[in-house]
């Protein structure tokens, strides 16, 4: 599939300058930028889809962990302190 991009002159100059600093061609630079953007957007979409699935499961079961308990647990773990994993319970 052939694609043609019309870049504004200032963007074209920036791409050329950045490609040169990375010892690559403007074409290769743009391909890498597009690939990175696609991967980033795919990861973001997967993250949001997983969040929707988990929210639906929580609503269906009625079980959850209050945010303050979850954050306290994560904070203790991040600090390297022992922390008991919070238990899900019925959330009103």
Q: What is the band of 55 on the pLDDT scale with cuts at 50, 70, 90?
A: very high
Label residue 15 by pLDDT band (50, 70, 90). very high
Rounded to two decimals, what is the model's pTM? 0.73
Mean pLDDT of 63-75: 96
Supply the DSSP symbol for 88: P
Return the SS3 of 89: strand
Q: Which residues contact 28 (CB under 8 A, 6 or more apart)?
A: 19
Other beta carbons within 10 angstroms of residue 36's beta carbon come to 10
Could you identify the residue written with the tokens 């504004």? 8
Please give the Cα distance from 88 to 64 (Å, whole number). 5
């Amino acid at each position: 599939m052939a694609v043609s991009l019309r870049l504004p002159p200032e963007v074209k100059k920036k791409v050329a300058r950045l490609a040169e600093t990375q010892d690559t061609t403007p074409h290769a630079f743009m391909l890498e930028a597009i690939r990175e953007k696609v991967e980033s957007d795919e990861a973001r979409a997967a993250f949001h889809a997983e969040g929707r699935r988990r929210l639906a499961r929580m609503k269906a079961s009625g079980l959850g962990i209050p945010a303050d308990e979850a954050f306290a647990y994560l904070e203790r773990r991040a600090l390297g302190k022992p922390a008991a994993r919070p238990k899900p319970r019925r959330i009103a």
